[in-house]
Amino acid sequence: MKRFMIHSSAGDYPLLCGRGLVGRRGWLARQLPGERTGVFLLSSPRVWRVCGPALAAALDPAQPQRILFDDRETAKNLQTVEKIERALVRAGADRGAAIVAAGGGVVGDVAGFAASSYMRGVWLAHVPTTLVAQVDSSIGGKTGVNLKEGKNLVGAFYPPQLIVTDPELLKTLDARQYRSGLYEVLKYAVISDPLLFDVLERTMDRVVARDAEVLDWVVSRCARIKGEIVGQDERESGLRQVLNFGHTIGHALEAATGYRRVLHGEAVGWGMLAAVDIARQQGLVRAADADRIAALVASLGRLPRLPDRRESIAARLGSDKKAHAGRLRWVLPRRIGEVEISEDVPEALVRDVLGRLPQLFPKRAGKAARKSASREPR
């Protein structure tokens, strides 16, 4: 098991990462605060179907009360938060409650927001069960829900008191969900870790196949990178903004398609290709590095088809929460392992890139892409 501390203004908290942690009977229950007045497991029906026995064993004998909610992106809204909090009231949860959020990014964001606002804040632990959640969304205290106008526009910074990451749980993911999480892994390689990038180039077949040795290394390395970044910039006033590589257009694409057509990681994949092309056209990144980044994105297989009218994506960019004084902030690669934050991207260039976005996907996607072609989402 690997253990490292994540700095937070509310108090440092541990991230425990190890294969099989959740499968140990009673292990998670022993990590909970002794002064708790009740344990409440917040998850979703589909997570509970595949991970329920392991979670129940790990929390034995804490006897958690279970509250399940819809974890589709379309249900990531204020109405779901209200349902959770009213269920907590009916279950007798008070300020001494301990909430354990078990699931993917939607569960973590929604349950975290509920924990931040219920009784003005209760004890919170994350048990991420998807790759996106294990390497990204569970770390750093961002919580939130969507509005029709955009993604994650309502939320709070509310760091957990504990994160337990078990790569064994990733076996429960279907191929598309798992592959979606790998785009977030690629993000870390591009923004700060040339070694991770090199390892992914050499071992992508093993990563896609969920080889335990390489996957455990990748998960813990990405989690450590995220922890170090958010520990230096908790409120996204500077360094933490680099984590938005691929997310500017990615979030707009999710909103434009009603959070139904593409998974979050897939949208980020398209967003990374767009950011690389913008950087190339502005002369920020060498062609060789741009080609390597695009090829690594393509090595995961075909991305979902884009809507025919990409004006709707452009229209959503204006409501992005990363905009500052009406100007969008773009995270653009300078080289593999280094990015810069720029507000100097002409609107005409953005529209040009959006218009050509399908053509930015490399024609030669590589062996991993060919293997996954039969699973291409439509």
**Per annotation, catalytic residue among 76, 224, 226, 280:** 226
**Per annotation, catalytic residue among 187, 247, 280, 310:** 247
Catalytic annotation present for 226: yes
Catalytic annotation present for 236: yes
Catalytic annotation present for 152: no
**Per annotation, catalytic residue among 142, 151, 221, 292:** 142
**Per annotation, catalytic residue among 236, 266, 292, 310:** 236
**Per annotation, catalytic residue among 240, 280, 292, 316:** 240
Rounded Cα–Cα distance for residues 209 and 211 (Å): 6
Catalytic annotation present for 264: yes
Token pair listed for 233: 């910039």
**Per annotation, catalytic residue among 179, 244, 254, 280:** 244
Catalytic annotation present for 120: yes
**Per annotation, catalytic residue among 264, 280, 292, 316:** 264
**Per annotation, catalytic residue among 3, 35, 120, 363:** 120
**Per annotation, catalytic residue among 66, 73, 126, 184:** 184
Q: How many other CB atoms sit within 10 Å of the CB of residue 238?
A: 10
Tell me which residue of 126, 139, 104, 339 sits closest to 221, measured CA to CA: 139
Tell me which residue of 284, 298, 270, 296 sits closest to 333, measured CA to CA: 284
**Per annotation, catalytic residue among 221, 251, 280, 310:** 251
Q: Which residues are the active-site residues?
A: 120, 142, 184, 226, 236, 240, 244, 247, 251, 264
